[in-house]
Amino acid sequence: MSCKSYLKISIFEKVKNSKILYRYMQKMLLLGDEAIALGAIDAGLSGVYAYPGTPSTEITEYIESSKIAKEKGVKARWCANEKTAMEAAIGMSYAGKRTMVCMKHVGLNVAADGFINSSITGANGGLIVVVADDPSMHSSQNEQDSRFYGKFAMIPIFEPSSQQEAYNMVHYGFDISEKYRMPVMIRITTRLAHSRAGVGRMAEKEQNTLKLPTDLKQFVLLPSIARKNFRRLLDLQTVIENDAETSGFNKYIEGKDKSKGIIACGIAYNYIMENFQENLPFPMLVIGQHPVPTKMLRKLYDECQEIYVFEDGYPLVEEMLKGSLNLGKPIHGRLDGTLTRDGELNPNKVAVALGLKDTIGQPIPEVVAQRPPALCSGCPHTDSYLALNEVLRDYSKGRVFSDIGCYTLAALAPLEAINTCVDMGASITMAYGAADAGLVPAIAVIGDSTFTHSGMTGLLDCVVHKSNVKVFILDNFTTGMTGGQPSAALGKLEAICAGVGVDPAHIRVIKPLMKNHEENMKIIREELAYDGPSVIIPRRECIITLDKRMREKFKNK
Amino acid sequence: MKKDIIIAGVGGQGILSIATTIGMAALEMSLHLKQSEVHGMSQRGGDVVSNLRISDKEIFSDLIPFGKADMIISVEPMESLRYLPMLSENGWLITNSVPFKNIAHYPEVENVLTEVKKFKNHVLIDADGIAKELGSVKSANIVILGAASPYMDIPLEILTIAINKIFKNKGQEVIDLNLKALALGREFSLKHA
């Protein structure tokens, strides 16, 4: 298949039956996440692996609930964490099948070991790593730009500007992953992940059959083999740059007014076009695939007096173009203050950067109050925190280390119950470190799913060093914040904690309900008095999943 | 034809049902559409917003530029005001009058409604009240959609088709209820705007 045909919606391809034709012609209204999911299913995906994380969750959810995927026997797996998901995908690629692993940007930090090394092993079956970044931190702890990871791993990176392009890039991504035997990254941001638009489908492909790598030592990263593999990866760099030159995902749009030259990465393209519509006067390089071809950059740089770089994320291309010494033509973007250094782009920011008129409606009236997210009414976490807060009145403030999940919302009023939230699992290990510093007892508060994601090893540290840490595992039977995906911890918590070595006498289960408030506080007090690691498990189902379950039950009757 | 619509509310109020209905209608008319949504943390009782853009030409940005929205449709009065910087000079502010109080410092409702009424093109509708009379408070969002419908350039028949399609699986009773909700909202709007 020629590269260019990926750019069109090849609706008539291999389609004879008129009924099927109709299906192909009908555009589907899909989120960016769903477009990637459907693209993968149609491109012959055999398995998707993921840990839920906004804004990436809907990719795996779509495949999980897709009838077509089910008929085709596609595996849709929620994994214990992003690292196990990444490694499962490498395993499926080893076995010759097309596979995708999906995560939010900070999930890639967890998966980084496997991810970076997967570029050294290379792929066998097509391997796509989808990472959804969250500039403006709508639902995250930072706004790191995953393209830097892609560059670090020296693999092709795709940055779609639309839902359709996202769909098409999955097809193309699988093809070049197999052609060059290397993983590829698709990087999206929240705005595309969670925005719907019409998407047309391409012809469906069969799944690959089981086929091991020709060289059965390809995936053995012993130094002698890794050195050879790494040299291959280095040699491939010019090849993947040439690919980015010809694939059609990088486009050079001519313009008569050479006073400015524009570089638009991913969805930044939309914001520029929003401002100019069909009348863009300046030459523009639209970047959808990295490494960015030097030839295209050279042309824009030579042709134009000044360069404006628009990236929804960190200034990756801008920094590259500018270099440390910045000796060339003026280059404008996030680094020189033309755009804010932080936050997602929007049409207005782009307009102002290019000297166009800004627009704004009326100011927000003073009467409007802030409405931050909060724990749901009836949430078990509230009752757990009320008990903990009351018991901790007898201690000095600032000893509650928490984690990533709905329960992080307890940092805000009215509960104001926690003092930290850093990364998945950090509650237990930070409490452990603080206890070593003398802050005893130190309290850790972590959710059930977060505990099996990255909390178990930290608990092991506490047990090995007999640390005076009280670990609250808030067990609501689900991964709540991301919409109720299954929790790997379900039914296993006491066994895990005992297995890790916590004295069973200090594994206490309570039911967080106001009617049990006194009893719960008594148990918490007892454990706080014990000089050693304890686990307290407040256990009650998430009110949202309970509600959903009851409605299903009612419906089926 | 081009309409840029902000749909506002509080996480859990189901603002996406409005977006989905308009989206379905836009598909019926073979229009282009982009609709950005809020998922994740803010869904937990925080303020949520959807940018819905429909047009007979290609739409580029998923986000509506500030000061360019043709309409704010809100299922909560204070939330309708939060997006005034998005609204164009001649845009319409269409909102439920019933507050959703999940914060300690919710302002005096009268003060909120006064701000809404200051706006020249506004529709302030007791959607919950109308929906309750119909027998299901759940249809309040469709009442509000009905109130917005005269200013949307989407024929009533098309919205009717959209509602039929969206609630198809829930049975004729639910379809009829929502069609009534749509009609009552529209009627109110035409009378009171």
Each residue's pLDDT tens digit, A305-344: 999 999 999 999 999 999 999 999 999 999 999 999 999 9
Residue A36 burial (10 A CB sphere; 0-12, 13-18, 19+)? buried
Which residues touch A482 (CB under 8 Å, ≥6 apart)?
A52, A53, A54, A57, B40
pLDDT tens column, A153-207: 999 999 999 999 999 999 999 999 999 999 999 999 999 999 999 999 999 999 9
Q: Dihedral of CA A405/A411/A414/A415: which sign?
A: positive
B66 with A373: Cβ contact below 8 A: no
SS3 B5: strand
- What pLDDT is stored for residue A8 in this prediction? 38
Q: Indicate whether B55 pLDDT > 50.
A: yes
Find the range with the poorest average confidence among A235-249, A416-430, A533-547, B4-18: B4-18
Alpha helices in chain B (DSSP H): 16-28, 77-82, 109-118, 127-134, 140-148, 156-166, 172-192
> How close does chain A come to B134, measured CA to CA in Å?
22
Give the long-range contacts of residues A407-415, CB within 8 A, separation 24 or more: A407/A375, A407/A381, A407/A445, A407/A447, A407/A474, A409/A372, A409/A373, A409/A374, A409/A375, A409/B41, A409/B44, A410/A375, A410/A381, A410/A385, A410/A445, A412/A372, A412/A374, A413/B104, A414/B104, A415/A375, A415/A382, A415/A385, A415/A386, A415/A389
Which residues touch A533 (CB under 8 Å, ≥6 apart)?
A459, A462, A463, A466, A467, A468, A469, A470, A471, A502, A503, A506
Rg (CA), chain A: 26
pLDDT tens column, B131-179: 999 998 999 999 999 999 999 999 999 999 999 999 998 999 999 999 9
Chain B residue closest in CA terms to A358:
B66
Alpha-carbon distance of B110 to B105, in angstroms, equals: 14
Cα B52 to the chain's mean position, in Å? Answer: 10
Closest CB from A29, A57, A369 relative to B23: A29
Find the range with the poorest average confidence among A69-73, A369-373, A386-390: A369-373
Q: Indicate whether A452 pLDDT > 60.
A: yes
CA-based nearest residue to A32, from A253, A197, A180, A219: A197
> How close does chain A come to B53, measured CA to CA in Å?
10
Closest CB from B33, B87, B102 relative to A197: B33
Alpha-carbon distance of A394 to A284, in angstroms, equals: 64
Strand-pair category, B69-74 with A251-253: unpaired
Alpha-carbon distance of A528 to B181, in angstroms, equals: 56
Which residues touch A182 (CB under 8 Å, ≥6 apart)?
A119, A122, A123, A127, A155, A156, A233, A236, A240
* Residue A53 pLDDT level (bands cut at 50, 70, 90): very high
- What pLDDT is stored for residue B42 in this prediction? 67
Q: Indicate whether A24 pLDDT > 70.
A: no
Domain boundaries, chain B: 2-192
CB B34 within 8 A of CB B53: yes
Cis previous bond, A291, omega within 30? yes
- What pLDDT is stored for residue A552 in this prediction? 87
How many CB pairs lie under 8 A apart between chains A and B? 158
CA-based nearest residue to B57, from A26, A9, A277: A277
Which residues touch A347 (CB under 8 Å, ≥6 apart)?
A271, A274, A275, B61, B63, B64, B65
> How close does chain B come to A554, measured CA to CA in Å?
14
Does the CB of B68 have a partner CB in chain A at under 8 Å?
Answer: yes
Does the CB of B34 have a partner CB in chain A at under 8 Å?
Answer: yes
* Residue A557 pLDDT level (bands cut at 50, 70, 90): low
Q: Residue window 327-356, chain A: list those with CB within 8 Å of chain B.
A: 346-348, 351
List CB contacts (< 8 A) between B22 and chain A. Answer: none
- Is A464 or A17 the better-scoring residue by pLDDT? A464
Residue of A34, A57, A196 for testing the chain B interface, max B β-carbons within 10 Å: A196
Does the CB of A136 have a partner CB in chain B at under 8 Å?
Answer: no
Closest CB from B12, B84, B112 relative to A364: B84
H or E segment at A31? strand A28-31
Closest CB from A195, A346, A360 relative to B34: A195
pTM score, two decimals? 0.94
List CB contacts (< 8 A) between A375 and chain B. Answer: 44-45
Does the CB of B53 have a partner CB in chain A at under 8 Å?
Answer: no
pLDDT tens column, B108-135: 999 999 999 999 899 999 999 999 999 9
- Name the residue with tokens 């609250």: A472
List CB contacts (< 8 A) between B79 and chain A. Answer: 371
Average pLDDT over chain A, rounded to whole? 94
Alpha-carbon distance of B191 to A205, in angstroms, equals: 56
DSSP labels, A262-305:
EEEETTHHHHHHHHHTT---S-EEEE-EESPPHHHHHHHHHH-S
Alpha-carbon distance of B109 to B176, in angstroms, equals: 32
List CB contacts (< 8 A) between A482 and chain B. Answer: 40
Does the CB of A198 have a partner CB in chain B at under 8 Å?
Answer: yes
Main-chain dihedrals φ then ψ at residue A86, nearest 5 degrees = -60, -45
B65 with A351: Cβ contact below 8 A: yes
Does the CB of B166 have a partner CB in chain A at under 8 Å?
Answer: no
Does the CB of A482 have a partner CB in chain B at under 8 Å?
Answer: yes
Alpha-carbon distance of A321 to A254, in angstroms, equals: 20
- Is A413 or A424 the better-scoring residue by pLDDT? A424
Largest interatomic CA distance in chain A: 78
Does the CB of B169 have a partner CB in chain A at under 8 Å?
Answer: no
* Residue A556 pLDDT level (bands cut at 50, 70, 90): low
Residue A74: CB atoms within 10 A of its CB come to 23
CB B111 within 8 A of CB B101: no
Q: Indicate whether A16 pLDDT > 70.
A: no
Q: Indicate whether A93 pLDDT > 50.
A: yes
Closest CB from A194, A361, A373 relative to B36: A194
Q: Indicate whether B62 pLDDT > 90.
A: yes
B84 with A361: Cβ contact below 8 A: yes
List CB contacts (< 8 A) between B86 and chain A. Answer: 361
- What pLDDT is stored for residue A555 in this prediction? 74
Q: Indicate whether A302 pLDDT > 80.
A: yes
* Over residues A364-387, mean pLDDT: 95
Which residues touch A176 (CB under 8 Å, ≥6 apart)?
A156, A184, A240, A243, A247
B65 with A346: Cβ contact below 8 A: yes
Rg (CA), chain B: 16
Cis previous bond, B107, omega within 30? no
> How close does chain B come to A139, measured CA to CA in Å?
5
Residue A557 burial (10 A CB sphere; 0-12, 13-18, 19+)? exposed
SS3 A443: strand
CATH architecture of B2-192: 3-Layer(aba) Sandwich (3.40)
Does the CB of B102 have a partner CB in chain A at under 8 Å?
Answer: yes
Beta-ladder partners of B81: none
Alpha-carbon distance of A302 to A50, in angstroms, equals: 44
Does the CB of B172 have a partner CB in chain A at under 8 Å?
Answer: no
Structure token pair of residue B73: 């449709």
- Name the residue with tokens 């919205």: B159
Average pLDDT over chain B, rounded to whole? 94
Cα within 13 Å of Cα(A303), Cβ side: 21
Provide, rounded to the nearest whole percent, the portion of chain B with pLDDT above 70. 99
Does the CB of B193 have a partner CB in chain A at under 8 Å?
Answer: no
Structure token pair of residue A532: 């050693």
A191 with B91: Cβ contact below 8 A: no
> How close does chain B come to A463, measured CA to CA in Å?
33
What are the strands of the beta sheet with A195-199, ordered from one edge?
Answer: A28-31, A195-199, B32-36, B47-55, B2-10, B69-74, B87-96, B122-125
SS3 A153: helix
pLDDT tens column, A465-505: 999 999 999 999 999 999 999 999 999 999 999 999 999 99
Alpha-carbon distance of A296 to A51, in angstroms, equals: 37
B46 with A372: Cβ contact below 8 A: yes
pLDDT tens column, A247-259: 999 999 999 999 9
- What pLDDT is stored for residue A18 in this prediction? 40
Chain B residue closest in CA terms to A483:
B40
List CB contacts (< 8 A) between A191 and chain B. Answer: 36, 62-63
Does the CB of A133 have a partner CB in chain B at under 8 Å?
Answer: no
B85 with A363: Cβ contact below 8 A: yes
Alpha helices in A122-189 (DSSP H): 147-153, 163-179
Distance set, CA A549 to CA A76, A262, A340, A512, B89 (Å):
22, 51, 45, 20, 46
